[in-house]
Structure 1
């Protein structure tokens, strides 16, 4: 990544990049996108820790170091937006998330379960019906 960051910074971000590619490739899986979303949230925290602990002195920064720090900060600023889009994809794939009294589950008013079919309709009372005459 640069001279200022430890290898854990690069490993965490490249792992999330690979996890994101896998989540996009698995179009049916809500679990894959949930793993990507939770990984993004985790890397937001770890990126902040990396910037706090490993930010170099401002006097001794080369152009390369300043550039890599700027790209890392831009990446950190854009991660909440990526989390929002990942959460929307999670909802589209059928993910369900309920946060206490806030219900952020998708609208399922048009959902029809197939495991509970409609009750069978009773047969018409054929004993009391007359047979219609045949027309030749």
Structure 2
């Protein structure tokens, strides 16, 4: 059973990641993610809105794909740096701890879904006419002939040297 990638709607992708990002930024008294996480993810989602608005734009979907790919790395860095600090500040009421756990869970779910989103965005990029081929086949020739003809042109002919003079031109004038 083949999955038809075109069924997935770009609007649903943007909306789903927006909801997960908003929930990840919740933290109650424990604000565990910095503003850079919010700026990164909401900027990528703004580019996603641009991709929704311009249905035929290859640039918009490519920028959304590139931003989503970069945000995967940045999310991992944010979680690695700030999660440990937030665990130390968990001496709060149970409701605050529950909000923190919910926010962390949504952030992790958002991060888990991003590679699948990138695959869907790549498929949409190809459907819109993008040509980013990833071929890792080493057996394929890297360079091919630019000329479609099979005829080999003749080698260039040497240029004959210019005639040489034996000295300055005033030496050959008759002096009266």
Scaled by the length of structure 2, the TM-score of the pair is 0.55
Larger Rg: 2
Match of 2:131 in 1: 96
SS of aligned partner of 2:107:
helix
The count of corresponding residues between Structure 1 and Structure 2 is 102
Unpaired runs of at least 5, structure 2: 1-24, 92-96, 138-176
Match of 2:109 in 1: 74
Scaled by the length of structure 1, the TM-score of the pair is 0.70
Q: List aligned pairs for 1:1-136, cutoff 5 A.
A: 1=25, 2=27, 3-55=31-83, 56-57=86-87, 60=90, 62-101=97-136
- Larger helix proportion of the pair: 2
Relative contact order higher in (CA < 8 Å, ≥ 6 apart): 2
SS of aligned partner of 1:5:
coil
Deviation at 1:15, TM superposition (A): 0.8
Deviation at 1:101, TM superposition (A): 4.5
Taking only aligned residues, the RMSD between alpha carbons, in angstroms, comes to 1.6
Runs of 4+ in structure 1 off by over 6 angstroms are none
